[in-house]
Chains A and B, each alone.
Chain A
Amino acid sequence: MSSPAHSPAHGGHDHGHDESKFQIYVQIAMLLAVITGIEIVAVYLPFAKWILVTSLVVLSAVKFLFVIFYFMHLRWDKPFCTILFFIGLVIAGGTAWALIALFQAEASLPLPT
């Protein structure tokens, strides 16, 4: 089980573009930083609330997806990894949505004090 310190990799299915993998990662990091910047600026823009909320949610979702599909490698891995994670994500998201909806119902509002 020993491997000498500096053996070059022989990954059989090395996509042959290790250099571009590095570049892809850096480019995505830059993109994420830019999107974060846009988000920060967006809250101060004079648009209607629903537009801003939607934009923020969309931008966050874009960041989220870039990280999971690229940094976490889902794009290049077997589909089952994606399915497995999305099972958790969908159930968590659905539960969160239902809980928030439940507490926004008329009957759940706090009584006026």
Chain B
Amino acid sequence: MSSHAATAEIDHHHDPTTSTGIPNKKLLMWAFLASDCMFFGVLISTHLIYRLHPPAGGLDPKAIFSPELTSFSTFILLMSSLMMALAVTAIQKGNIKSCRWSLLTTIFFGMIFLGCQVYEFEHFVHDKKMTLSNSLLGTTFYTLTGTHGCHVAIGVLWLALMYVRSFKPGPGSAQRSWFSGQIFHAATLIVMLLLALKVTLGLVHAIQVQPTLGGAMGLFMKEQFLWIGAMLLSLWGCVWFARPRGPVHFGVANAIDVESMGLYWHFVDIVWIVIFTAVYLLEYL
């Protein structure tokens, strides 16, 4: 824990200040993930137990699930995992720009996944009439995938904050205070992501409602005009906050934090691998 370690070379595979050589934060995250295995294990068990003997006349997943959508979101999450791994290797080499882009793409893919899930839930509730409380399938399905979705959302939030953190001014920077700056940057980014989600879902809705592309675009523009404007504004804000402003207080020493976050994100991905098979695919047999 001595401050001199930061100026020495950082070996990302061995921390000499600990008894095992594993950095404390990494060990903490692995222990937490072991605990989270049990957490999701119990949720998945609940769902599978109730699928063993479905009530007669209950909802049939085959009539409700959309394998195309789910496959797409599975693929998206896998790609986000790739981006996360690249973000970690980038910062371990001190390549901040590459790390930032990888973080942004991870966030981007994560948001697409969440968007697919929001769309899926809305579709199931409004069109397939499956709600949280009107069926056992709805109860266990929404609870399980919803909890997973919450984990993804927390991950996206963490990624966004880590991205903003990478702009903390370092010595020699002209900035005097970063406190309010980071709050605004983070808020703008999060608002932009939420607006992008809303706008995209609006676009999808418009395409589904209107048979022609022209008609759909027209409907989309009409309904979402203000939201699109706000999204573009916040997007511009994010670009503005990300302009280069001198050296930053973010580098190889922060790789452990990005790595810990990466472990969490990959774990969320492997839970989805299990859920995709156990909840979706097995129903089609």
Contact = CB atoms under 8 A, between A and B. Distances in A.
Direct contact of A and B (CB under 8 A): yes
Given A6-B96, A67-B81, A71-B266, A77 B11 contact: no
Interface string A1-28: 1111111111111000010011001101
A22 B89 contact: yes
B212 interface: no
Interface in B193-207: none
B127 interface: no
Contacts of A8: 93-94
Contact of A11 (B3, B10, B270): B10
Contact of B273 (A29, A67, A89): A67
The listed residue with most A CB atoms (<10 A of its CB), out of B12, B67, B171, is B12
Contacts of B247: 4-5
B52 A64 contact: no
Interface residues of A, number: 66
Contacts of B49: 99-100, 103
A91 B285 contact: no
Q: How large is the interface on B (under 10, 10 to 19, 20 to 34, 35 or more residues)?
A: 35 or more
B23 to A, nearest CB: 10
Interface in A12-55: 12-13, 18, 21-22, 25-26, 28-29, 32-33, 36-37, 39-40, 42-44, 49, 52-53
Contacts of A80: 20, 22, 27
Contact of A18 (B56, B71, B89): B89
A43 B252 contact: no
Contact of A88 (B33, B95, B285): B33
Contacts of A70: 85
Nearest to A31: B78
A59 B274 CA distance: 10
B277 A57 contact: yes
B150 interface: no
B48 interface: yes
B86 interface: yes
B78 A33 contact: yes
- Which secondary structure dominates chain B's binding surface? helix
Contacts of B27: 80-81, 84
A52 B276 CA distance: 15
A104 to B, nearest CB: 6
A81 B23 CA distance: 11
Contacts of A107: none
Contacts of A92: 37-38, 40-42
B21 interface: yes
A104 B170 CA distance: 61
A108 to B, nearest CB: 9
Interface in B62-103: 67, 71, 74-75, 78-79, 81-82, 84-86, 89, 92-96
Contacts of B21: 78
Interface of B: 3, 6, 9-14, 20-22, 26-27, 30-31, 33-38, 40-42, 44-45, 48-49, 52-53, 56, 67, 71, 74-75, 78-79, 81-82, 84-86, 89, 92-96, 170-171, 247-253, 259, 262-263, 266-267, 269-270, 273-274, 276-277, 281-282, 284-285
Cβ-closest 3 pairs across A and B: A88-B34, A92-B41, A3-B251
27 contacts: A1-B6, A3-B252, A3-B253, A4-B251, A6-B94, A8-B94, A9-B252, A12-B9, A18-B89, A29-B79, A32-B78, A36-B74, A36-B276, A40-B281, A56-B277, A57-B277, A64-B270, A64-B274, A67-B270, A71-B81, A80-B20, A81-B26, A81-B30, A84-B31, A88-B34, A96-B44, A99-B45
